[in-house]
Amino acid sequence: MKKRSIILLLLLCVLLAIPQAASANAPAPDPLSVKIQCRNVEVGTVMNAMFAGEDGVFHPDTIYGARTVQREDANEYFRRSDSDTQFYLEITRPDGTVVQSNTLPITPNGVYRYDGKTNVLTDRTGSLDTTCIGDVFLFLLMLLLEILAAFALTILIEFLVGLCFKMKPFRYIIIANLITNIPMNIVLLILSGLTGSVGYWIALVVLEAVVVLVEYLFYRCKYPQRKRWFVLLFTLAANAASLAAGLLLFQLVF
C-alpha cells in the first residue's frame, strides 16, 4: 500500500471517528432509556414519567424531568433507574387538567406510544412505526454512523499499534477488522436492545475473546514470517488499545 493511500486512509478514519467522541449516542444504546411516541397530544402538554420498582412506590424521573410537548407527534425521552420495573405517565394538559395513564411494565430500550385522545399508553418496543418513517430512517442512519465510527476508531488505534510492531503490510489490519469489528458491533447493538447493561458487558467480553482468537489466526496466516508469540502479543495489544480507547471515549461523553 502506497504511503499516500495510507495517509488518506488515516485521515478518513479520523473524520469518521469524530462522531464517536462527539455524539451523544453511547457505543451501546442506553437500556435505561424510555422513549414515548406522542400521538394526538396538545402542544404545551407537560408530560412526566412516574417509575416504580418491586416495592410499588412511584417516583418521578429526576434525570430528564418533566417534558413539555412541542408538537402533537413529538418523541419524548425519560430515564429510569436500574431497579425500576413499571411506570405510568402523569399528564398536565394546557387547560390545567391532570390525568394519569395506565401502568406498563418496563423493557430495556423501551419504546412506548401515548395517545392523548384515549389517554392510553401502549408498548411499541420492537415495532416498526410506519407513521414515523423519518424517525426510523434517522435511527438506522445513526446506527450505521455509529458502526462506521467504531470501525474507524478501531482501525486508527490498531494501525498505530501496528506501526509500533512493524506489522507490514498494514492492509491486513484493515481486512482483519472488516471480518471481526463490524459484525461484533452489529451483534452488540442487537444484544443491547434485548438485554440489560449486565448482559451487554458479558457479551462484550465474550465477543472480544472471539475477535482476538479470529484475528490471531488471521494474522498467523498473513504474517508467516513472524513468530507465534509475537503475533499473539500484537493481537492482544491492538485489541486492548482499541477497546481502552472506546471505553475512554464512552466515559468522556457520558
pLDDT in tens, 99-146: 999 999 988 778 899 999 999 999 987 665 544 555 566 667 777 887
Classify residue 211 as exposed, middle or buried by CB count within 10 Å of its CB (0-12, 13-18, 19+).
Answer: buried
* Residue 81 confidence (pLDDT) above 60: yes
Q: Does 64 fall in a domain?
A: yes
Bond preceding residue 183 cis, omega within 30 of 0: no
Same domain for 156 and 237, yes or no, is: yes
Domain count, the chain: 2
Tell me how far CA of residue 16 lies from CA of 23, 30, 150, 176, in angstroms.
12, 22, 8, 18
d(Cα 180, Cα 231) in Å, to the nearest integer? 17
Give residues with Cβ within 8 angstroms of 207, minimum separation 6. 184, 187, 188
CATH of residue 44's domain is 2.60.40
Question: Mean of the pLDDT values across residues 206-210?
Answer: 91
State the residue range of the domain holding 235: 3-28+134-253
Contacts of 9 (CB under 8 A, 6+ apart): 155, 174
What pTM value is reported for the model? Answer: 0.53
Are 140 and 222 within one domain?
A: yes
Q: Same domain, yes or no, for 197 and 249?
A: yes
pLDDT band of residue 80 (cuts 50, 70, 90) is confident
pLDDT band at 22; cut points 50, 70, 90 = very low
200, 28 Cβ separation under 8 angstroms: yes
